[in-house]
Amino acid sequence: MSLLCPIDFRYGRPAMKRIFAEEARLQRLLDVEAALAQAQAKAGLIPAAAAKEIAAKATTKVVSVERVLEIEKETRHDIMAVVTALSEKCGGEGARYVHFGATSNDISDTATALQLRDAIRVLREDLRELRGVLAALAKRHRSTVMLGRTHGQAAVPMTFGLKIAVFASEVDRHLDRLAETEPRVVVGKMSGAVGTGAAMGERSGEVERGVMESLHIGLEEAATQIVGRDRYAEFVAVLANIAASLEKFCTEVRNLQRTEIGEAAEAFETERQVGSPPTRMCRCGMSGISRTPRRKGSSFRTPRCSSTTSSRRRRTSSAAFACTRTGCGRTSRRRRDR
């Protein structure tokens, strides 16, 4: 994970990190290779025995991350390292038909779709839980009067329940966006180096459909070498939108829990949790995209994982998921003197 992004170990939860770990990535690459062989056997392009052998050996229990990395040092090609390592473990005809007729991006982009699908499931579960917590909090405090503010200045009274209802409604819209975006994002391809499927002949379309159906993901309608990157760009924008909302929620609670205001408080594990008050609330790294960095020395610092710390820092889908899910895990606890 540290090779992908330096924030991954500080931010994110185990369930999300596991999806983007090296071994998990390798397993999904192997899953695609197995699905390809099985679809080709069904179409009559390779022997059924070869497909069975490939599918049986396409597991990280047989093909290790260490062996793949060892081969990659020599070939300097990640997918061919996977293909070689899998071929080494396949006996008889199996080794001859690993990766038959495919191009590297057929495997890597389809594996990425599997990772995104699984990550979306985790994120959807978290957002639903957050929505439920916020909705319950809004209902409980629908009559709890508090000072309304505009531009930080005192205005007419409002209720704390209304404030939280706004948050809950926002999360609900994010769930809608996630559902709308998923079919456009979770897609793979198996059409060869330039999208014609020529290496698999007249049955290429049948093979491609078979692979995607067996993996339960969508199919790229028209592609040359890669799945359209506009799909990923759209999805990162959705994640940034979710992260911006989470940051807004956290910043509001952080402001309301200031000593001189004391209208709300963050849940804190007094026996085990540590951390300075200014940084506890802002745990969402992707929110750095959507907020203006504060001056150095300001009371409330920009999160350490903000994009402002390095203009060259790479933003990956794994980092986006890890940070967004961390933000979902924090909920506020209401405290008011009566």
Determine whether 276 is an active site residue.
Answer: yes
Question: Which DSSP letter does residue 108 get?
Answer: H
Torsion-angle region of 269 (φ positive above 0: left; ψ -120 to 50: alpha; else: beta): beta
Q: Which of 2, 143, 216, 276 is catalytic?
A: 276
* Strand 332-334 versus strand 264-266 pairing type: antiparallel
Neighbours of 293 (CB within 10 A): 14
Q: What does R_g of the chain's alpha carbons equal in angstroms?
A: 24
Distance CA 80, CA 154 (A): 64
Q: Is 147 helix (H, G, I), strand (E, B) or coil?
A: strand
Q: Which regions of the chain does DSSP assign to beta strands (E)? A: 145-150, 153-159, 187-188, 218-219, 264-266, 332-334
Determine whether 99 is an active site residue.
Answer: no
Taking a C-beta distance cutoff of 8 angstroms, is the pair 25, 60 a contact?
no
Taking a C-beta distance cutoff of 8 angstroms, is the pair 239, 326 a contact?
no
- The pair of three-digit structure tokens given for residue 298, joined into one six-digit string: 């300001």
Question: Which long-range contacts does 249-257 make (Cβ < 8 Å, 24+ apart)?
Answer: 249/167, 249/332, 250/281, 250/282, 250/283, 250/284, 250/327, 250/330, 251/281, 251/282, 252/163, 253/281, 253/332, 254/281, 254/282, 254/300
**Environment class of residue 221 by beta-carbon count within 10 Å: exposed (0-12), middle (13-18) or buried (19+)?**
exposed
Q: Which of 143, 151, 216, 311 is catalytic?
A: 151
Nearest to 215 by CA among 242, 187, 249, 192: 187
Query: Which residues are identified as catalytic?
Result: 151, 276
